[in-house]
Structure 1
Amino acid sequence: CLLRQDSMNVSSSNVVRVVLASWSVGGFILVSCYTSNLIAVLTVPFFPPKISTIEGLAKSDFRISMVDYGEFVPEALATSQDEDLKSLGDRMDLVYNYDEDDISYGELTQILLDGEHAITETYSYLRNLLAYDKEARSSTYVLKEQIYQGALAFFLAKHTPWKDRLDQGLRQLVEAGLVNKWYTDIMSTTSSALHDKKSDSKEKPLTLSNLQGPFIILLMGSTIALLVFFMEAMFRKAIGRVPFILQDDKAE
């Protein structure tokens, strides 16, 4: 059965037949799963490894792009002492900063979807940008490793009298966890939108974990079959003794 070459000789022994039946079912499952996985491996197209680090991005053929709104990042990358960051800075393409952000970031997103650029922006803004663009969300991802960490600040005039009070209030909000709570609430909608991408994944080929159910059913069926076989053998043996006892009674 495993080689799909059935034997013409069938054993008359019930035990052998039970074993052969179990082996036939198991062999059929193994052959089917192996054939399916082999076809999947041969037919699924090969995809390049996923970029997950700044070093991998620097060694790739992607160029970098961002909106030119006066950020220090382009100059910082171009003058960086790190070879990977400097390589990204040398391949930086800036998008004109229009009066409306939708136009600027729409053009930036289109450059990203063209497949030749990676875009850089603050982490939270990128998550929002992907969350509300279905096409970009389904074909792009955010690099976990970040180029730099930034902080948000309030710009005040020098010698502002209530600066200390504002610093104290902001510090209390941070220490109480309210800032993180508000950030989590605001970003929860983007997180749920990004998780929709995972739920839309295509069917995956069978793996060993998928075969646990069929083999458990096979084991249960074999166990029940063996119990029925032994019960049938004992019952047949008991029936065979009855005529012999009756003949002894008549002989007396």
Structure 2
Amino acid sequence: MLLFGTPMRRFPRVKSERVFISSVFILSLNIVALFQSSLAMVFIKPMFYENIDTLEKLSEGNQNIIIKYPAMLNDLFPEDSSDTFRDLHNKMKLITKSSVGPREIIENLHMATVTRKQNFNMHSIYNDYHMVAECPKHYNLAYIFAKHSIYSEVINALILDIVRFGLMNKWINDVEYESKLKNNLGIQDVVSKSLTLNDLQLPFFTVIFGQALAVVVYIIEFFVKFKTKAEHGIKTAN
């Protein structure tokens, strides 16, 4: 038997038990068929959207790009660069910092945002985000000093050595590792789900089906017993 997981050595002799065993077989067959069909449905109809890993896919989607800085409107996706950048430029919307937060962007499937890669890797609030692998823009931070300064050659040589020896990447990786370690050690809020009647449909359906089947078996036994008594009474009279 599929429902109980135990083999049945002999078929019962009582009719009510036979009806019960048959109903259990039918119910088990329906449950297995439903489970197998749900597994096969994943390959036919995906349950999740495909990840957006390129700017071209982002331009083809229906997500609005939320930005918080006005300087990004004309600098992030130039309209005269390509058709993809033109579509992305038309999707950008400038908002204030207090109107839409990171949590609203996560819950809304029609929103995307732009942030620094270091912020994405260092802050735990971005753990629920999906980052597009293709980077739209590269920025370099610089410190301005006087023209023809006597320190320009020394500073440029020092920066060149830092980049050439890989110290910048090491510092960034160390900071990201410490940030992820602190986030993983922190206590995270566990979202609990309360059970509703929708989660308990199968037990209710099983009880209703069993009661209906019991009524049918009772009616059949009543008529069979009544017919047997009638035949026995006729034979006794004869």
**For the superposition of Structure 1 and Structure 2, which TM-score range results when normalised by the shorter chain?**
0.5 to 0.7
Q: How many aligned residue pairs are there?
A: 161
| Matched residue, 1:171 | 160
Letter in 2 for 1:80: D
> Which SS does the other structure have where 1:47 is aligned?
coil
Q: Structure 1 unaligned runs (5+)?
A: 9-31, 97-103, 197-252
Q: Which has the bigger relative contact order, CA under 8 A and spacing at least 6? A: 1
Answer 1 or 2: which has greater helix percent: 1
| Matched residue, 1:152 | 141
Could you say if the C-alpha distance between residues 180 and 78 of structure 1 is closer, same or farther in structure 2, counting changes exceeding 3 Å?
closer
| Matched residue, 1:57 | 58
Deviation by residue 1:204-238 (Cα, 9 ceiling, x = unmatched): xxxxxxxxxxxxxxxxxxxxxxxxxxxxxxxxxxx
Could you say if the C-alpha distance between residues 39 and 91 of structure 1 is closer, same or farther in structure 2, counting changes exceeding 3 Å?
closer
> Which SS does the other structure have where 2:85 is aligned?
helix
The correspondence of residues 53-202 of structure 1 with structure 2, limited to 5 A, is 53-68=54-69, 70-71=71-72, 74-96=74-96, 104=97, 107-113=100-106, 114-128=108-122, 131-133=123-125, 136-138=126-128, 140-191=129-180
8 Å Cα contact 2:66-2:93 kept in structure 1: yes
Give the TM-score normalised by structure 1: 0.51
> C-alpha displacement at 1:38, in angstroms?
4.0
Q: Structure 2 unaligned runs (5+)?
A: 3-7, 11-30, 186-238
Distance across 2 between alignment mates of 1:142 and 1:76: 16
> C-alpha displacement at 1:77, in angstroms?
1.6
Distance across 2 between alignment mates of 1:90 and 1:127: 28
8 Å Cα contact 1:66-1:95 kept in structure 2: yes
Runs of 4+ in 1 over 6 A off after TM superposition: 32-35, 193-196
Letter in 1 for 2:117: Y
> C-alpha displacement at 1:46, in angstroms?
1.8
Letter in 1 for 2:49: P
| Matched residue, 2:208 | none
> C-alpha displacement at 1:40, in angstroms?
3.7
